[in-house]
Every structure is written in C-alpha cells, then in structure tokens.
C-alpha cells in the first residue's frame, strides 16, 4: 500500500499546484493573467487541467487517482478499503495539498506583498461562499455538487457506457477533467465548488502557517463547510449509485 499512499500524496500535490496556481495567476497583482479575459472561464479550465494531470501523475506514482477524501470515502463504502487504509490515504491527500500550496506560494513569491486584497490571497488557497451569512445554504450547495460529481464519475466506467470492450487506458482521465470543468461552470458559483475536503482544508492550513505577506485570517469559521459537505455528498452519491445500478 506504500505506493498507493505516496501516489495519493503526490497526485494531490500536483492537483493543487495547477489548481491554486491558476487562481493565483488570475487574482494576484502584476501576474500576466491578472485582469485579463474571463477569469472564471480561466479558473474553471485550469482546475479541470489540474485534476487531469493530478490523476495522471498520481496513478503513475502508484496511487488510485482519487486525490480526494470524498472519493476515498465512496470507495470505503463500496468495500474497496478498510477504515485504516482510507484514513491514511485521506491524510496523505491533505498533506499533499499543503505541500502543493506551499509550492504555489513560492512560485508567486513577489506577488503576495503587492496584492492588497487579503480575500483574494485567501481565495488562492481555499473556497468561500459568494453570499455570506448562510452556511447551511453553502453546505447544501457543496452536498449537491459533490453528489452530482461522484454520480458522473462512477457512471463513466459503467458497462452500458463503455461497452464490452471497455474504455481505452487513460481515456477516462480526460472525461473526468471534462466533468470537473462542467461542475465549475454549472455549480461553482455559490461556494467555489470545493467538492474535495483535501483541496480546501490542506491549502487553508498552508495559508494559516505560511509567512504570506499581508495575509488576513484563514476563515476557519467557514472551513467546516467544504469538508463536511463533500463527505455527506459522497455518502448520498453512494446510496444513489447503488439504488440505480451505477455500481
């Protein structure tokens, strides 16, 4: 299992380098992409590519390409993993996200000080609600988004979809990236579509501990939403997938 744990760590690190990196490129002052074009299209596309290469590199280094406690939890419910294995994998994913965030901080080192907006700096690392004051609405959005995401992901390999010949090796990774792009475009607005506890918690921890110039608080009051919501959504997706014959 050692290679599996390392692959989940390394793949999640790559995911965050690309994902947090595209946000930094768009929002930090004097970056080449700052203020240019449609930032949301750039960010959603960047996160889709982040998942694509995170999964590919995670699998290439021995992981399963899950990169998310929500996906690992789904597979735990399926009986693929024992509880200790699943919890260890989740810890590796969160650690990978912390390291990936630190690398993004280093890559954009001169830009933190000249960016005055503390919220924009935090937004490189973690998600937040577009409308403040109703965490339960944000939780509902994260539950819905994660449920739809996992139903879509686990439908990709269904025998009625891929046929008797199955899917060509590696092709599914591109379809996963398309799903992530679609999620951002369709359901990303209310909360920033975390859908992955490691994607939000790991970078939020990094934001809290790194000496980022001029940073504000890490918004810990909201931090439970992008952790709990995806886990609830994962469990709901499992029930729906079992009931409908997707798995």
SS3 state at 137: helix
Nearest 5°: the CA angle 163, 166, 170 is 140
Q: What is the mean pLDDT of the chain?
A: 97
Decide if 211 contacts 105 (C-beta within 8 A): no
Give pTM, 2 decimals. Answer: 0.97
Domains and CATH numbers, the chain: 2-126+134-242 (1.20.1080.10)
Phi, psi of 215 (to 5 degrees): -75, 160
Confidence class for position 2, pLDDT limits 50, 70, 90: confident
* Tokens read off for 203: 């970078």
Look at the block and give the residue holding tokens 């004097």.
30
Q: Do you know the residue count of the chain? A: 247
Whether the per-residue pLDDT at 1 is higher than 80: the answer is no
Residue of 125, 131, 104 whose CA lies nearest to 31 = 104
Q: pLDDT (tens digit, 9 = 90+) per residue, 8-30?
A: 999 999 999 999 999 999 999 99
Residue of 57, 77, 69 whose CA lies nearest to 230 = 69
* Cα gap 173→178, rounded to integer Å: 9
């Amino acid at each position: 299992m050692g290679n599996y744990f390392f692959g989940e760590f390394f793949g999640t690190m790559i995911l965050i380098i690309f994902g947090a990196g595209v946000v930094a490129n768009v929002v930090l002052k004097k970056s080449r992409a700052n203020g240019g074009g449609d930032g949301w299209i750039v960010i959603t596309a960047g996160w889709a590519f982040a998942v694509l290469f995170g999964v590919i590199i995670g699998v290439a280094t021995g992981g399963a390409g899950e990169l998310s406690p929500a996906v690992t939890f789904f597979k735990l419910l399926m009986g693929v993993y024992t509880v200790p294995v699943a919890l260890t994998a989740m810890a590796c994913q969160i650690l990978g996200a912390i390291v990936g965030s630190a690398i993004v901080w280093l890559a954009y080192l001169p830009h933190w000080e000249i960016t005055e907006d503390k919220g924009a700096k935090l937004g490189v690392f973690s998600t937040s609600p577009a409308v403040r004051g109703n965490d339960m609405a944000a939780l509902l959005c994260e539950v819905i988004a994660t449920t739809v995401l996992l139903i879509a992901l686990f439908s990709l390999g269904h025998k009625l979809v891929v046929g008797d010949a199955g899917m060509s090796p590696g092709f599914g990774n591109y379809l996963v990236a398309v799903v992530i792009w679609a999620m951002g475009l369709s359901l990303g607005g209310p909360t920033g579509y975390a859908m992955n506890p490691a994607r939000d918690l790991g970078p939020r921890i990094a934001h809290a501990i790194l000496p980022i110039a001029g940073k504000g608080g890490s918004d810990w009051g909201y931090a439970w939403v992008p952790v709990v919501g995806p886990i609830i959504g994962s469990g709901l997706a499992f029930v729906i997938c079992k009931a409908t014959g997707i798995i």
